Amino acid sequence: MTDARPIPPSVLVTGGACFVGANLVPALLAAGARVRVLDDCTTGDPSRLADEVDLVRGDVRDADAVRAAMEGVDAVVHLAAAGSVIQSIEDPATNFDINARGTLTVLTEAQAAGVGRFVFASTGGALIGNAPPPVDETSVPRPISPYGASKLSGEGYCHAFHGAYGLPTIALRFANVYGPHSERKRGAVTTFIHHALAGEPITIHGDGSATRDFLHSDDLVRGIVAALSSGVTGVVHLASERETSIEELARLILTAAGADVDVEHRPARRGEVERNFALARRAAEELGWRAEVDLAEGMAETVEWFRRHAARAPAT
């Protein structure tokens, strides 16, 4: 295991007013870091941020805004992205512009500012594609959606900036993250919870046998903090190492919500992988990290958060 280092004194979080950022920023503050957030607030909610957070409103594709946000920071966590597989299929150019060009802009300004640590939010399943699970850092990426391709591009630029400029970069391949503050996140978990709490039927695309690796936001935040506090570079999977079918996910959510609604099936959608879960051995060995939150308990907690906060229905 790599020796842990102190957390960087000042951290910029792009997309920090969105789901993952809303969980990460309080943890960084609790660890003693000064936090700045760069967010255009189109999907992010600035009310999630504590008063001591320095919010810069701007787009990651805007070099001037990124340069201003980068001033004086020691490390960057680059979360900002267009995260929908389906939307990337509908509009691949915009997905590329935000995810690939935006990441290049953030890397360029981080290198120019002399940032000492760069953490990139990548993905596992969408980037690797339809490979037999479990996958890990040695799996050959063959994305089947523009979203997956854009994240692979981001990983490539991180690797290039490390090699060409000496910028210490680590790409964390997130599993399917769920948890509090995810009411605006696109995906099955959010959609299923909203429908279950509203007493509406749940729709599954496909026969329900497709699988994913679901990771609670508390576990993810611990992984990001561990990555910030280490010198590990390259690609690291953060995953639960558990394969869960979409049918099982629906049952867990319906049980947690106490809902008795129909589950309807529609044709599977192109661009979505059939099976996915990952091994997180490198995270365990080099970051000292393992997922800890039980899926049933974590999903019940998440459903209760949605119930208490009367989260509004997501855009579809």
Report CA torsion sign: 273, 225, 22, 62.
negative
| Cα distance between residue 96 and residue 15, in whole Å | 17
* 42 CB burial (10 A radius; 0-12, 13-18, 19+): exposed
Task: Examine the residue annotation and report whether 165 is marked as an active-site residue of this protein.
Answer: no
User: What separation in angstroms does the CA of 48 have from each of 44, 53, 181, 316?
Assistant: 9, 10, 9, 23
Q: Which ranges of 258-294 would DSSP assign to H, the alpha helix?
A: 281-282
Other CB atoms within a 10 A radius of the CB of residue 216 amount to 25
- Within 13 Å, how many C-alpha atoms sit on residue 223's CB side? 35
Cβ pair 126, 25 in contact under 8 A:
no
Q: Considering 147, 157, 165, 178, which one is annotated as catalytic? A: 147
Pair type for strands 75-78 and 202-205: unpaired
| Cα distance between residue 219 and residue 238, in whole Å | 9
Query: Annotated active-site positions, please?
Result: 147
